[in-house]
Every structure is written in structure tokens, then in C-alpha cells.
Amino acid sequence: MTVTPFLPLLALCLSAVSILLLRQPAIGWGLADAPGGRKQHQGTVPLTGGLGVFIGFLLVQPLQPAGVGELLPLYVGVLALVVCGVLDDARDMRSTLKLGVQLAVAALMVLWGQRTLEYLGSFPLLGAVHLGWLAVPVTIVAVAGLINAINMMDGVDGLAGGSALSVLGWLAFVAALQSQLMLLAVIVTLAAALVGFLLFNLRHPWRRKASVFMGDSGSMALGFAIAWFVVELSQSPRAVLSPVAYLWVVALPVMDTLSLMVRRILKGRSPFSADRNHLHHIFLRAGFTAGQTSMILMLLVAALGGIGVVLSLVGVPDVLLLASLLVVFLMHGLFVTRAWHTSKALRRLHKATLDGGAVRASSQIVRLRSRPLVGGGRRQAALIGLYLMAFSVGLNTRLALAGGALVVAAAVLAYPLFWRDVLRLKLFWLSLGLSLYLLLRGVTSGNFEPLDNAPLWWGLLAISGLASLPLAWWLAQCRLHWNWLVLTAMLGGGFTFMLDADWSLLERGRFSIPGAWGEAAHIGFMSSVGLVVMLAVLLAGLQRLGAGWRPAAQVVLAAMLTMPIMIVLMGTGYTTAWLAAAAGGAVYVVASTVLGRPQGYRLGRLGVGALLAVLLLGVVSHDWLLPNASPLVQRLVEPLQAIGLVLNGQFDQAQALHPGIVERVTLWDQAWEAFQAHWLLGSGQLVPPAEAGALTGYRDYASLLASVATGLGLIGLLGFAAVVVVPLKALVWASLHRHWHAIWGLGILSCGVTVLVFCLLAMPLYYPGAVGFIVLLIAAIQIATFQRDWTRQRQ
């Protein structure tokens, strides 16, 4: 069977024509919605959009190559719900009667269509979960629930149709993967008919308001069709996705409906009563337009569906998929139950982004420039680039580069403000000089090869500070986005781990096998930095407990994320990452006594208890994940013992105790000899020459610092030290003078120390994700340089 574009195009045209033809008769039939009460649209709007969609959809089904045949129960159920919806739109049926029709249609799907939810997935201790005799009642309730979930999304122009279109897109993708071409053809024709409706309902530059609404006739039938497709795809013998993944595809409408029904029941109201407490109403109250709200939630539906589909395809276990989804449910619940607070936060976010207005910052936190902020398309392009780079920095190099390029382009176009600010900074000239020296030294030594052949040289150029300045300039103007960018980066890091890990090994409990957690150096770097970030968030939240709900939510979220990050970190077995994370945590504790003192940020008893709990979690995780390895303390002490033996000239004993340390010391000794030979300008070689007797298995000096010293000499070392120290001084100034919250200064400083330990003991530049994170970290430090300059200019 082949899928042709003719039928989808015909469905789209029939849908659009039907909507146009039904517009005038609808008012005479009573199928129109008038403003008033909770309905705040303008003018009388026909409710025949859904009727037009399913006229276009059903008329083309007899033309399908496979005919109606096997899917006849689907079409009968859709038709029944369309008729029920039309009657409800015209006469307002009782909710119990509508529910009865929905349950009857769901029973028709189960008994006549023979579609049931039999298999739910595979879970530890339970194995493969089959419902058996419970499949029939569970399927009926689930189908009726999804019908109501899609129906309740129909509250803003384009939201229900756009969200359903996102869901249908993922279902069509899965149907194609499973070679269910007949079902694919049906899904695509329904999606095309829906597009015909969205032309009249979704707000866009050529349509300022909806000229037709979907009505219950469309939303209920859409929910039933989606439920049918989900059941058929998930229970197919050719299924490539876990049934749990489909929960991600429909997560947002289901979450919003369940939380709303629970809140209504707790208030003593009918779960089907209407109100203005949906998720989209929170966005509208925060100042977002109907078009912006629909677009944001449509993208959120698509993103959640993509997460579920991709993670299931790469083999993430069902228990982890379900646990992650429960965390999303919890976050949604907190968001909507704290609607008063979240509306205020969204209002500030809206003013900082889509509203285009200048943001007023508190003098106690961040002082922005006195001149107007750059707005319009340049600001929005920069924000898109920042979020794209934050999410994909460890996930996909090309996406991260695209995000960075977008930010740089937006800064270049912000002439003359960007250039005026940058050229005034001593940091810019230092970074420019270092970059030119790197280029000159690499070219003259003949080692500056194309990108694929010289990652070290390109990595050094990326972290020289010049590439971070445009990012820092935009970040300095977008303080309201800092928290969201950190959260985006953490989500991207979690997604990276899920894609890199070998889930077939992890599900069988092979935790100690190298590579089961992904590439140790890459995942170890990302998880150690992530752990330090979460520790900073956790400790800062503990210090502010009692000052409202936000610190408590911050502590809960940080604690929930700290545990899996620690497990991943210990599972990699990468001792360097453990040391780096420990160093970052120690610096946070020490620096909080200085940088945190002006704002009252002290560790306290709760902070000490949290640190001890994290350390205990690390020890327990190590012993559980690596039962055949040496005890954790021994693994940390043995390298020190080996170094002591080497210093005493006892190489044989050191080799027997810890061969890796002997090899590293040998490499560092070679680096020291190379540095002494070319101490000023360096040799231009970032790696040991083959004739120098480099050890087998090592392609570098096992230290970025050693490579810089040998390749670039004293000038290179001083140059990198300068581009770090200058913005670091500004960061200390911003923290001590209360221009920043203490958590930002302490968090960035701790992450910086973590990265510095990696640069001392490893070579992170081989991994694009590590390079990208270092670029972002340098940009975060450079923010303070811009803000100090703006403050001085104002004074």
C-alpha cells in the first residue's frame, strides 16, 4: 500500500470549503457562540469548525486504498460523537449524558473494534505488565478520559486544534516507523482536515481573531480518534515504542484535565463544570495574547511528545520514562495550584520577551544599563539562540553552534550599542590578543588543521573568551531568563545522558561495565558540573527556607535532581569527575563565608546536613553500582599513595599500586621538559610527539594545562590566566556589592573550580559538549564585567 498526497490535500480542501459553507447556516441552527460570562471573545462566532473537519475527513475515507473495512468502528464512533457534539453546541446537553455517550463510544471501540489496552510495558520486579480481564474497563475509562482531555483544551483560539495536530504528527511518525501504512494514511488525512480548520481558527499575521470555533463536535471526535490511534499503535505486534511513551505524547492535555478535575472535586464542584482555571488561562492572565498562548502550549505538547518518542526509541526503560513523566506531572501541579505566583512570574517573563518592553531590575540584585535595552527581533533572536545553545550544548554540536551563531548575529546587528560596550572593555582586547596569538602560533607551527583534525586548537579558540562576549552581553540584559536557562541546560544534560547510555546493559544490572553510562569522560564532566549546580541551588534554598513557597519548591526540585545526577556520576567510575565535583562543592562551602556574608547566605546546620547526605548518597551509590570495585576511600587514596611513591623514586611499587598515575606523571614530566625547551612561545605542539615516547593509549598530556604550557608557552598561560582573572574580579565585585544574588556568584565560582580541576587532570576539549559548556560558563562570568562597566558609566 502506498500513501499519496492527493487524499490529504482533498481532505484539507473539503474541510475548508465545508467551514465556509456552514458559516451562515450555523447561526440559524443555533450553532454559534456569543460572548458573555467566562467567554471573552468578540462577536458571535460559528461553532461548526469541528463539523467541517470531520466532513472533510469522513468523505475521503472511502477513497483510501484499503477502503473503510477494518476501521468502520472508528468512523461510526467519530460520527456519533460529532452528532452528540452538534446537539451539545446547539442545546447544552447535561454533562452526565455526554459522558454516557463517550463511554458508549469507547465501549464500541473495545467490543466491536477489538482495540484494547492489553500491554502496559515492562517494569522492574513486575516484568511485562498485562491487564488481562481488566483491559476492557481500563480501555473504556482511558478513552473517555482522553476525549474529555482534548475537549477541555478547546479554550483559546487554535489551542485544541494545534495541540491535536502536534499529537497527530508524532503518531504519524510512529505509524511510518512501524510500517502501518493504512493507519498512517488515515492519520495524515485527519491532520490535513485539521489544518483546513486551523486556517480559520489559529491566529496569525493575516488573521487577528478566529472566524470559527471547533465546538464540542470536533474536540470530542478528535479525542476519540487520537485514543484509537494510540491504542492501535501501542498494541501492534510491530510496535517500536513502549506504551509509556504515548503518555508523553498526550501528557499536557491529560495533566491539565486531571489536575483541574481534582481541584474541582476538592472544592465540592462537578469535575465537568466550566471555569477559567486551565493552564492557558494562567498564561492569558499573565499578559500573553491568545495567539502566543496557543503557540507556546502547542510547542510544549510537541516537545513532550518528542521526548517520549525519542527516549523510547533509544531504549530508555519504562520505569524511567514513567518516573520522569511523574516529575513533569508534579511540576505541572505545582505550577497550576500556585497560579497567583506563577502568573506574576510569567508576567515578568512576558514583559522581558514577547512584550518588547524594558525590564526594571532591582538595585539589590542586578543593575542594568541606563539606556533602553535592545528589543524587537534582535532580542528575540538572541533569546532563541541562548535557549537553543543551553539545551543542545551536550546533545548536538550543530544545534549548539546554530544557537551561538544566532546570538552572535543578533549582537552584531545591535550596532552601535554592542560595539560601544565591547570596545570599552579591557577584557575584549585581552581575549582578542589571545585569540590572534593562538591563530598565529597554530598556523606558523603547521599544526592548525581543519576542524575535524584539530579539535584542541579550535577548542582553545572557543574558550579564549572572545566567542563568549556576545553571549555575556545579551545575558547581562536578560536576568529574568537566567533561572530558565539553567533549567534548560539541566534538561538538555539529562536528555544527553538518556541518549548516550546503553540501556540494554543498565536494565540487566551491568552497572560496572565501561560505557554502560555513556562515554565516561563526557558524561562524567557533564554530571559533575550538574551536581555542583544542583548543590548550589539546594544549599541556597535551604538558607532561605521560611521565606515563602519558592525556597521550599527549590529545595524539593534540587533534591530530586541531585539524587539521579549523583548516581550517574558514581556509575561512570571516573575518579577525575568525582574529584572535580568535590572541589566545586568545597569551594562553595568556603566561598559562602565571604561572598554570601553581605546577603546573609551562610551554610548553617541544614546546609551541613545536606552536604553530609549528598556524601552518604555518593558512598552508597558507589558500593551499589560498582560492587566489584575497590572501596571508594581506597580509590581516592591510592592515587595519592602512588604519587608519593613516584616522588620517592619507587616507580615499580607505584606502577603496581596505580598504573594510571604513573603514566600521567610520566606524561607531565614530558610536558615539563617540552616547556623548559620553549618556555616563552611554546613549541606549537599541544600533544606529545610520537618520537618523544608517548605512552600507549594517551593521545595528549592528560592535562589541558600541560598542553597549553607546552604548545603556547608562558605567553599562552598568562593570556588564559588574564581572561579568567579579569571577569572573576568583576564577579567578586558584583557579589560583594549586592548586584547579584549570592547564589549566582557562588554557583558560577564553584562550577569554574570544577572545570579548572578537569583542565588540570584531563583534556575536556576532545568533547564538544564540554567545550560548549565552558564557553557558556565563561560568558556567565563575563556578565559581571559588562555590568560593572555600565555601573561605572552611569556614575
* In 648-767, alpha helices (H): 651-657, 659-677, 704-736, 742-761
| CA gap 471, 463 in Å, rounded | 13
Q: 27: how many CB neighbours lie within 10 A of its CB?
A: 15
* 216 annotated among ligand-binding-site residues: yes
Per-residue H/E/C for 486-533: HHHHHHHHHHHHHHHCCHHHHHCCCCCCCCCCCCHHHHHHHHHHHHHH
DSSP annotation of 131 reads -
All residues at 6 or more sequence positions from 439 whose CB lies less than 8 Å from its CB, including other chains: 448, 461
- Grid cell at residue 367: 543593575
CB 746 within 8 A of CB 576: no
Q: Mapping DSSP to helix (H, G, I), strand (E, B) and coil, where does residue 338 land?
A: coil
Q: Report the relative pairing of strands 127-130 and 32-33 from DSSP bridges.
A: unpaired
| Residue whose C-alpha is closest to residue 660's, from 576, 764, 579, 568 | 576
Q: To which residue does cell 499519496 refer?
A: 4
| CA gap 236, 80 in Å, rounded | 26
119 - beta bridge partners? 130
Q: Report the relative pairing of strands 119-123 and 45-46 from DSSP bridges.
A: unpaired
CA 635 and chain centroid, separation: 34
- Grid cell at residue 479: 536576568
The secondary structure of 254-316 as a DSSP string is HHHHHHHHHHHHHTTS-TT---S-SHHHHHHHTT--HHHHHHHHHHHHHHHHHHHHHHHHTT-
* 201 annotated among ligand-binding-site residues: no
All residues at 6 or more sequence positions from 535 whose CB lies less than 8 Å from its CB, including other chains: 558, 562, 584, 585, 588, 610, 611, 614, 750
Per-residue H/E/C for 339-380: HHHHHHHHHHHHHHCCCCCCCCCCCCCCCCCCCCCCCHHHHH
Q: What angle do CA 687, 692, 697 make, to 5 degrees?
A: 60
Residue type for position 500: D
In terms of Cβ atoms closer than 10 Å to its own Cβ (0-12, 13-18, 19+), residue 687 is: middle
Cα dihedral 101/106/109/115 (nearest 10)? 180
Tell me the CA distances in angstroms from 328 to 150, 170, 226, 743, one per residue in order: 19, 19, 22, 25
CB 222 within 8 A of CB 50: yes
Annotated binding site: 151, 216
Annotated binding site for Mg(2+): 151, 216
